[in-house]
Amino acid sequence: MAKPYSDDFRQKVMQAIELDGLKKSEASQLFNISRNTINLWCQRKAETGDVKAKTRAMTQQGLKINDLEKFGEFIKQHGDKTQSELAQLWDGEVSQPTISRAITKIKHSRQKKHTAMSKETKPNAPHF
């Protein structure tokens, strides 16, 4: 979600319209904002007496995996599975991104197994 314009900027735009007599369309071009934004600010000022941005309620999603110790044991037991497979095996309905967040939360890293691969090395040709 986009950040709201600062209160200082809002005051500057409204001052240009109310005190300096600038038209809304001229102010929108001068300050490079939409005319609709200015209309909304004017409407808010008429309703509340101020043009400050509305405060947004910060919502934190509840974790679907609450028992991280149980989840850690689950990961140890099913370490060879993909995250999608883990999501299907977990008690309750969880998605692959939920599994991913929980794995990050318990700071578990899935190390890749190194396989013995032989690379043929060629001697460097002399550069002339």
Is the pLDDT assigned to residue 60 strictly greater than 60? no
State residue 54 phi and psi, 5-degree precision. -70, 140
Distance, CA of 69 to CA of 105 (rounded, Å): 11
% residues pLDDT > 90 (the chain): 32
pLDDT confidence of residue 78: 87
Sign of CA dihedral 23, 29, 35, 37: negative
Q: pLDDT, tens digit, for every residue of 107-118? A: 877 665 555 555
Helix (H) or strand (E) holding 123: none
Is the pLDDT assigned to residue 33 strictly greater than 90? yes
| Cβ proximity of 65 and 102 under 8 Å | yes
pTM of the model: 0.47
